[in-house]
């Protein structure tokens, strides 16, 4: 079994979900008391949020690259950045290490295509919905991504940072997400990307009429495939 390196803490609420899923999948595949070989570097999320707000992606890239290098030195065989938004600087992190970085958008795109979908909706942070790094990468896979209108993008973003990252789950926010996702379905979405790793804490398949693509689960699943199969 290879060792998985996790850059987490963005937020730790969703990083805990990664850890649970990764170990559940290993137990499911290997049985008995098997669990994953993994290393975690959990950053101070406030430092990352400050970089995001200031648009200082270079500093953020330096923080995550240093984390990745530390994980590689500690024995990690691959790296996961446990957040969608920070894949904006994934190329910089990947270039700082000599082991594979498993890109969350690529593993999500693979599952979308495997289900025969070409047009999908996405709910995520405003950074992910409004800056081209994620949507353009999906386009390279032949996938069109539909995002909410401006007011709804702000609502989705504020719920993520104001509630989900702090571990607060509100039924009123779940209803907001249901409404926003249905609007994307009405606009032609054949599936729905949960494009922030915290979103799975709030909504699930029963909350939307089309297949979901839970990036947290898909990313963790890809890590296990790598660890067990190479």
> In terms of DSSP bridges, do strands 78-81 and 119-123 run parallel, antiparallel, or are they unpaired?
unpaired
* 165 CB-near residues (< 8 Å, 6+ apart): 11, 13, 45, 198
Asked if residues 200 and 174 have their Cβ atoms less than 8 Å apart, the reply is: no
162-200: pLDDT as tens digits: 999 999 999 999 999 999 999 999 999 999 999 999 999
What is the average pLDDT value for the chain, to the nearest integer?
97
- Looking at residue 230, its pLDDT comes to 63
Backbone angles phi, psi at 83, to 5 degrees: -170, 145
Q: In this predicted model, what pLDDT tens digit does every residue of 80-122 receive, in sequence order? A: 999 999 999 999 999 999 999 999 999 999 999 999 999 999 9
As annotated, the active-site residues are 83, 196
């Amino acid at each position: 079994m290879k060792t998985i390196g996790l850059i987490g803490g963005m937020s730790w609420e969703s990083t805990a979900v990664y850890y649970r899923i990764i170990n559940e999948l290993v137990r499911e595949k290997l049985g008995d008391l098997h669990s994953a070989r993994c290393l975690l570097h959990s950053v101070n999320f406030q430092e990352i949020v400050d970089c995001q707000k200031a648009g200082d992606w270079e500093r953020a890239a330096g923080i995550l690259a240093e984390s990745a290098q530390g994980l590689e030195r500690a024995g990690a065989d691959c790296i996961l950045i446990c957040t969608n938004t920070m894949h904006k600087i994934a190329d910089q992190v990947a270039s700082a290490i000599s082991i594979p970085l498993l890109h969350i958008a690529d593993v999500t795109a693979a599952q979308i295509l495997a289900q025969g979908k070409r047009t999908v909706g996405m709910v995520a942070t405003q950074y992910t919905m409004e800056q081209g790094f994620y949507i353009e990468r999906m386009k390279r896979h032949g996938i069109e991504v539909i995002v909410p209108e401006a007011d709804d993008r702000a609502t989705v973003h504020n719920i993520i940072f104001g509630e989900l990252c702090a571990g607060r789950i509100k039924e009123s926010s779940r209803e907001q997400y249901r409404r926003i996702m249905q609007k994307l379905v009405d606009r032609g979405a054949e599936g729905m990307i949960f494009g922030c790793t915290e979103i799975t804490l709030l909504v699930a398949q029963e909350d939307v009429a089309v297949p979901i693509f839970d990036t947290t689960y898909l990313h963790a699943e890809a890590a296990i495939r790598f660890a067990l199969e190479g």
